[in-house]
């Protein structure tokens, strides 16, 4: 990922926190042509020096067959927003886009045993049901669940490299950044609000 020094974030806990918060990501691998799947990921921070990702995909998805044992890229996207040059109150400026993203690299390994695949699914459900006042849990027929589990493939990725990019106008003077924050907050859009909050955090440091 092209990351100028002013936008680079190299702090591993910050990357991990971002992955935990933005767990739905894009898995990219290469076969005869590039392949991509959009999947929920779980992060185990302690399982490898930089962490381990776990996920699953439909067995009918051909990506897993060529991805096993290969180097893959997983892209985690955060908030993003269009930045209007109107907010800079300056001449000779152009539009841009502010965003946050984390790229994770590693080797994908399939998980063969049913117990581990079941655990990945259970942990995924628990993770995304956690904020519900009445978290859902499967309470149906065990045979039906077993048949569903046979229709998916689990996998793990030990992280060997992480790149973080926080493109938040850090390459502009403070007064321009403050103008962008005001402009974003006036939009009233949740993603714009998130970018404004992140920009303010970079100014407050």
Give me the pLDDT at residue 146, please. Answer: 85
Report if residue 203 sits inside a domain.
Answer: no
Looking at residue 181, its pLDDT comes to 97
Q: Is residue 179 part of a domain?
A: no
Q: Quick check: is 121 in a domain? A: yes
Distance in angstroms (rounded) separating the CA atoms of residues 152 and 37:
14
Phi, psi of 42 (to 5 degrees): -110, 145
pLDDT of residue 67: 95
Higher local confidence (pLDDT), 139 or 73: 73
**pLDDT at residue 205, rounded to an integer:** 81
Strand, coil or helix: 77: strand
Q: What is the number of structural domains in the chain?
A: 1
Task: Give me the percent of the chain exceeding a pLDDT of 70.
Answer: 100
Quote the strand ranges of the chain, DSSP E: 8-9, 24-30, 34-40, 42-44, 52-58, 71-83, 96-111, 152-167
CATH of the domain at 110: 2.30.110.10
Q: How far apart are the first and last CA of the chain?
A: 25
Residue 5 confidence (pLDDT) above 90: yes
φ/ψ of 54, rounded to 5, equals -130, 145
pTM above 0.75, yes or no: yes
Instruction: Name 99's Cβ contacts closer than 8 Å, sequence gap at least 6.
Output: 77, 78, 79, 80, 81, 165, 167, 195
193, part of any domain:
no
pLDDT over threshold 90, residue 114: no
Report pLDDT for 33: 92
Residue among 59, 52, 2, 64 at smallest CA distance from 27:
64
User: What's the pLDDT at 164?
Assistant: 97
Give the pLDDT confidence of 125-182 residue by residue, as tens digits: 999 998 889 888 877 788 888 888 889 999 999 999 999 999 999 999 999 999 999 9
Residue 155 is assigned to a structural domain of this protein: yes
pLDDT score, position 92: 83
9 belongs to a structural domain: yes
Average pLDDT of the segment spanning 174-198: 96
Lowest mean pLDDT among 91-95, 103-107, 157-161, 165-169: 91-95
Tell me the pLDDT band of 80, cut-offs 50, 70 and 90: very high
Is 32 a residue whose pLDDT tops 90? no
């Amino acid at each position: 990922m092209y990351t100028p020094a002013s936008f680079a974030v190299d702090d591993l806990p910050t990357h991990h926190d971002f992955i935990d918060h933005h767990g739905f990501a894009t898995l990219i691998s290469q076969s005869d042509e590039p392949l991509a799947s959009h999947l929920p990921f779980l992060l185990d921070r302690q399982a490898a020096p930089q962490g381990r990702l776990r996920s699953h995909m439909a067995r009918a998805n051909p990506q897993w067959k060529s991805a096993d044992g290969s180097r893959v890229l997983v892209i985690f996207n955060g908030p993003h927003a269009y930045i209007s040059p109107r907010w800079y109150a300056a001449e000779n400026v152009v539009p841009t886009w502010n965003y946050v993203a984390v790229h994770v690299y590693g080797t994908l390994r399939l998980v063969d045993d049913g117990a581990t695949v079941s655990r990945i699914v259970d942990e995924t459900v628990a993770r995304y049901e956690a904020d519900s006042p009445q978290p859902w849990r499967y309470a149906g027929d065990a045979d039906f669940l077993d048949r569903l589990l046979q229709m998916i493939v689990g996998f793990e990725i030990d992280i060997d490299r992480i790149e973080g990019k926080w493109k938040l106008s850090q390459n502009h003077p403070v007064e321009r950044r403050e103008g962008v924050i005001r402009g974003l907050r006036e939009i009233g859009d949740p993603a714009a609000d998130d970018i404004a909050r992140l920009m303010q955090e970079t100014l407050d440091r």
